[in-house]
Amino acid sequence: MNWVDSAILAAAILAVVNVVDSHLIARRLPSLWAFLFPVGIIAIIYGVIVMAVVPIAEEAETTHILYAVASSFIRALGVGSFLYAMQKAEVSRIIPVVNSHPVYVAIMAVVLLDESLMGVEWFAILITVAGAVLVSVQRKAGNFVFNVNKYIALPFLAALCLAGANLTSKYALEGINFWNMYAIGALVWGFVCVIFSIRATVFSELRNLNRPVSTMVILFVNETLAPVAIVLLFWSIERGPVSLVSTIAGTQPVFVFIFAMIISRISSGALLEKRIGMKAMALKFASIAMIVGGVTIIHLV
- Residue 137's pLDDT is 59
Nearest to 135 by CA among 281, 294, 276, 245: 281
63 CB neighbour count, 10 Å cutoff? 12
**Of the ranges 39-48, 58-67, 133-142, 193-202, which one carries the lowest mean pLDDT score?**
133-142
The winner for highest mean pLDDT among 84-88, 191-195, 255-259 is 191-195
The winner for highest mean pLDDT among 76-85, 91-100, 131-140 is 76-85
pLDDT in tens, 214-239: 999 999 999 999 999 999 999 999 88
Pairwise pLDDT comparison (158 vs 181), residue with the higher score = 181
Please check the confidence at residue 146 and state whether its pLDDT lies above 80: no
Work out the average pLDDT over 89-112. Answer: 70
Whether 171 contacts 72, CB under 8 Å: no
- Residue 271's pLDDT is 42
Please check the confidence at residue 187 and state whether its pLDDT lies above 80: yes
pLDDT band at 296 (very low <50, low <70, confident <90, very high): low
pLDDT band at 144 (very low <50, low <70, confident <90, very high): very low
Which sign, positive or negative, has the C-alpha torsion 212, 213, 214, 216? Answer: positive
pLDDT in tens, 21-58: 878 887 889 988 999 999 999 999 999 999 999 999 98
- Report CA dihedral (106, 107, 109, 114) to the nearest 10 degrees: 120
- Which ranges constitute the DSSP H helices of 54-177? 62-88, 91-98, 101-112, 119-134, 153-172
- Residue 18's pLDDT is 80
